[in-house]
């Protein structure tokens, strides 16, 4: 009978479940696994799964309240993961926040592109060769490359990104006309350059839109459109598909951008990343357009406001909804009262011009 193997006395520090979370970052664990071979068994798949679940629970941005219940937006199919994949999953959760991508995921869930939560597989994680490759890209791009293929569209496509060896990228279809440039060079005075976020930089695409003609599908209109961020581009594609494939009702008006105390002008000239009261997410598009999503996953419908420059200090304002009408006729505010109430919060002093017939 062999005598029991003697443990290194330092190992007693690590055996407790709680002490496993005292490491400030996953980098601490990576270093210990690399340099202290006798500690590797303490950071095995089971322990790393606990760390992964703890990290997911700690990311407040990856949870949403839906009908009074907390819903996780993202999970991993980690029961099928080996140690390497679980460690990689912990890395992608802990290496930077998920706030921007959480808004994309929530919007895609609202629009019916999948059922929450998104469940990432080992293949999704291994989209990136290693953690160095993951952290070398802008954070939202790295996350979208893993998550985007889960955003399914009605024509059988998904929001997949295709990386080419020359550094080029395409979205949805790996075909000419579907180019996506992340962090393009912009003029010095451009609004999106002034408010550029390095982890979610502006993105330019070749006019990728969803068309219902000829059976429906994604097309490129041959233009060149620059959005405030990569997450804005992703949200636009999701929302454009939804709008084109669902029956919506809308009201619109052209207003001077300075009515209501200059509310519209402020929206179009301030940082496109400014959180908006009354909105679950926003999109800054093509330099002079804002889309504001008013609903969340607790609502049985989807409603939005689009605000776009029309020249000569004019702005087009459009409110669009899939809310079921409560009556057969009458003004928009009477037929769609919940949408109107939500829009008033976002529009503030401009709301009477949109809904109540107030004259400029």
pLDDT 10s digits, 115-124? 999 999 999 9
In this structure, the answer to whether residues 43 and 126 fall within a common structural domain is: yes
Quick one: which H or E segment has residue 256?
Answer: strand 249-256
356 SS3 class = coil
Average pLDDT for 223-237: 96
Cβ contact 195:150 at 8 Å: no
pLDDT higher than 70, residue 175: yes
d(CA 2, CA 165): 56
In this structure, the answer to whether residues 111 and 172 fall within a common structural domain is: no
Residue 176 falls within a domain, yes or no?
yes
Confidence class of residue 42 from pLDDT cuts 50, 70 and 90?
low
* Range scoring the smallest mean pLDDT among 59-63, 151-155, 292-296, 315-319: 59-63
Residue 144 falls within a domain, yes or no?
yes
Cβ contact 297:116 at 8 Å: yes
Beta bridge partners of 152: 158
Q: What is the DSSP letter of 325?
A: P
Residue 210 falls within a domain, yes or no?
yes
Residue 3 falls within a domain, yes or no?
no
In this structure, the answer to whether residues 145 and 125 fall within a common structural domain is: yes
Q: What is the pLDDT of residue 292?
A: 98
Split into its structural domains, the chain has a count of 3
In this structure, the answer to whether residues 191 and 305 fall within a common structural domain is: no
d(CA 209, CA 217): 9
Q: Cβ atoms within 10 A of the Cβ of 7, count?
A: 10
| Terminal-residue alpha carbon distance, the chain | 94
Confidence class of residue 34 from pLDDT cuts 50, 70 and 90?
low
In this structure, the answer to whether residues 26 and 144 fall within a common structural domain is: yes
Residue 260 falls within a domain, yes or no?
yes
**Closest to 239 in 3D by CA, of 112, 63, 99:** 112
Q: What is the pLDDT of residue 55?
A: 87
Mean pLDDT for all residues in the chain = 89
From 149, 166, 200, give the residue that closes a domain. 149
Average pLDDT for 212-218: 91
Q: Cβ atoms within 10 A of the Cβ of 189, count?
A: 7
pTM of the model: 0.89
From 175, 209, 238, give the residue that closes a domain. 238
Q: What is the pLDDT of residue 37?
A: 57
Average pLDDT for 218-242: 96
d(CA 154, CA 114): 11
Provide the CATH number for the domain around residue 316. Answer: 3.30.310
In this structure, the answer to whether residues 296 and 213 fall within a common structural domain is: no
Q: What is the pLDDT of residue 223?
A: 86
From 238, 267, 290, give the residue that closes a domain. 238
Confidence class of residue 39 from pLDDT cuts 50, 70 and 90?
low
Residue 360 falls within a domain, yes or no?
no
Q: What is the pLDDT of residue 10?
A: 39
d(CA 291, CA 294): 10
Domain span holding position 270:
247-355
In this structure, the answer to whether residues 108 and 78 fall within a common structural domain is: yes
Residue 74 falls within a domain, yes or no?
yes
pLDDT in tens, 234-249: 999 999 999 999 999 9
Distances in Å between the alpha carbon of 67 and those of 113, 272, 276?
Answer: 19, 29, 22
Q: What is the pLDDT of residue 17?
A: 45
Q: Is the four-CA dihedral 130, 135, 139, 141 of positive or negative sign?
A: negative
pLDDT higher than 80, residue 265: yes
């Amino acid at each position: 009978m062999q005598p029991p193997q003697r443990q290194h006395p330092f190992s007693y520090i690590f055996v407790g479940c709680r002490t496993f979370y005292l490491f400030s970052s996953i980098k601490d664990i990576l270093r210990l696994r690399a340099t202290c071979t006798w500690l590797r068994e303490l950071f095995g798949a089971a322990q790393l799964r606990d760390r992964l679940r703890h990290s997911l629970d700690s990311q407040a941005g990856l949870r949403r309240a839906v009908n009074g219940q907390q819903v996780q937006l993202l999970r991993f199919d980690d029961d099928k993961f080996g140690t390497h994949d679980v460690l990689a999953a912990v890395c992608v959760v802990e290496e930077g926040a998920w706030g921007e991508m959480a808004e994309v995921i929530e919007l895609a869930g609202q629009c019916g592109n999948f059922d929450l939560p998104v469940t990432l597989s080992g293949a999704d994680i291994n989209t990136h060769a290693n953690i160095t490759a993951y952290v070398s890209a802008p954070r939202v791009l790295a996350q979208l490359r893993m998550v985007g293929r889960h955003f399914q569209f009605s024509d059988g496509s998904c929001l997949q990104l295709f990386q080419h060896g020359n550094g080029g990228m395409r979205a949805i279809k790996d075909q000419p006309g579907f180019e996506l440039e992340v962090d393009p060079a912009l003029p010095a005075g451009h609004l999106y350059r002034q408010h550029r976020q390095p982890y979610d930089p502006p993105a330019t695409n070749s006019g990728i839109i969803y068309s219902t003609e000829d059976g429906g599908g994604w097309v490129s209109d041959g233009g060149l459109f620059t959005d405030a961020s990569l997450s804005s581009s992703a949200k636009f594609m999701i929302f454009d598909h939804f709008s084109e494939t669902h029956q919506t009702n809308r009201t619109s008006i052209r207003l001077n951008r300075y009515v209501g105390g200059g509310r519209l002008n402020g929206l179009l000239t301030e940082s496109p990343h400014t959180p908006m009261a009354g909105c679950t997410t926003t999109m800054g598009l093509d330099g002079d357009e804002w889309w504001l999503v008013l609903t969340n996953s607790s609502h049985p419908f989807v409603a939005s406001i689009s605000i776009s420059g029309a020249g000569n200090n004019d702005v087009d304002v459009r409110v669009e909804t899939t809310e079921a009408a409560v009556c057969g006729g009458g003004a928009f505010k009477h037929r769609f009262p919940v949408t109107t109430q939500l829009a008033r919060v976002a529009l503030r002093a401009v709301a009477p011009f949109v809904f109540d017939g107030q004259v400029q």
